[in-house]
Amino acid sequence: MSQNILELKRQYLEYLEIEKGRSLKTVNNYNRYISNFLTHSKTKSPSDITYSKVREFRLWLNRQENNKKGLEKGTLKKQTQNYYLIALRSFLKYLAKNDIKTLAPEKIELAKTKMRDLELITRTEFQKLMKESDKTTLESLRNQAILEMLYSTGLRVSELCSLNEDLDLTVDEFSIRGKGEKIRIVFLSNKAKLAVKKYLKFKKEDENKKILNNALFTSNKGNRINSRAIQRIIKKRAAEAGIMSRVTPHTLRHYFATDLLQNGADIRSVQMLLGHASITTTQVYTNISDKFLKEVHKKFHGK
């Protein structure tokens, strides 16, 4: 009797959530990726999954247009296509682990992708971005504290948004729960601590504030700040500083990593500071860092 593929998928997703401790966002993404394959291939049971069906699905993926706002029209990026394949391969590994006959997971190879395009800025641009505002308002102090925190810690923007007011600023470090619910230690510079202290002092003295929670960084309406708001803050700050390059919260995370590597930090330490599960992910910063230094040398040396 053949086993129902939808029931097995449900069991697999529960396994991801409970045994593997994956976040609900990851579980939902995997559900979407696998469901797309099952629907496209009309798969009813594990034995229906064949190499030819996977190949047909890959061709279909490769011809899909991206529909994300702000992106140029074109087919799905290779990395996006790989997300589907990674999820499917993980599902097949789960089936094999439970002695369910299906396609061998190692039959699925990921598409080769080009080196990630990292958003890098020069040191001069970085200094312009980080220059303190002459204004002393709750908003300006908050924005400065956000920038200093991103650069000092290398936090992802979602991790920054999750911070609360009870952050201990008497020490130089704190723990953060990152991707995959993994906890890591990040470190605060004196400049970052000072910026946060100034912001919190002003925040407490502001009689007109409407704080609805204990979030460290809040919007003008008193709600916990979100990633989109921080993106807008940094985009506006870069424009005011006259920076032509695209600058996002992740740009500061990139700068944090490349700055450490260029100044002699070993890649394994940078991996731990960034919270990367695989050192392969961190390796891209080494490649980009070397390439960026070469471009800077070519542009400015001997002029």
Catalytic residues: 156, 179, 250, 253, 276, 285
- The beta strands (E) that lie in the chain are given as 173-177, 183-187
Bridge partners (DSSP) of residue 187 are 173
For 249, counting Cβ atoms within 10 Å of its Cβ (0-12 exposed, 13-18 middle, 19+ buried), the class is buried
Instruction: Kindly state the helix (H) or strand (E) to which residue 261 belongs, with its residue range.
Output: helix 249-262
Q: 187 by DSSP, 3-state: which? A: strand
Structure tokens at 69: 């706002």
One-character DSSP codes across 30-67 = HHHHHHHHHHHHT--SGGG--HHHHHHHHHHHHTPBP-
Cβ atoms within 10 A of the Cβ of 191, count? 13
Whole-number Å distance between alpha carbons of 81 and 64? 10
